[in-house]
Amino acid sequence: EVQLVESGGGLVQAGGSLRLSCAASGFTFVDYAIGWFRQAPGKEREVVSCINIGDGTTYYADSAQGRFTISSDNAKSTVSLQMNSLKPEDTAVYYCAADPSRGYGCYDTNALDAWGQGTQVTVSS
């Protein structure tokens, strides 16, 4: 069974940093991509960043480019999202998701086969 568990959310002031982690189990980690998505109140879920575990290829949404960094620790089957220079508009529930298509799920969530439970990130102004 594919399982994903997020951690690392919290409350931070604007300009601060947080590091989110996604611990994966139940599948061959290097055969997947992992994506980070977020959903703010009243808004649709949107992609933040993705990483192809096998070759390290990364993708960032415009909103994350230059501020967020995605990385993987293959020995621990964990993907992290380092978020710097946080803004109030980054406030959302952040989810990680498993993508057996190795990247297409970053553009089409129908390609994803599992989601974590989410972790709340709140950025105060």
Average pLDDT of the chain, as a whole number: 96
**End-to-end distance of the chain based on CA atoms, in angstroms?**
40
**What percent of the chain is predicted at pLDDT more than 90?**
93
φ/ψ of 39, rounded to 5, equals: -140, 120
| Pairing verdict, β 10-13 and 119-124 | parallel
> What distances in angstroms separate CA 87 from CA 31, 40, 48, 92, one per listed residue?
33, 13, 14, 11
Name the band, by pLDDT with cuts 50, 70 and 90, for residue 103.
confident
User: Per the structure block, which two tokens stand in for 125?
Assistant: 């102004």
φ/ψ of 59, rounded to 5, equals: -135, 140
Rounded to whole angstroms, the Cα distance separating 125 from 122 reads 10
What average pLDDT score do residues 52-63 get?
96
Residues in the chain: 125
> What distances in angstroms separate CA 117 from CA 85, 96, 113, one per listed residue?
25, 8, 14
Name the band, by pLDDT with cuts 50, 70 and 90, for residue 6.
very high
pLDDT value of residue 24: 97
Residue 89, CA atoms < 13 Å, CB-side half-sphere: 4
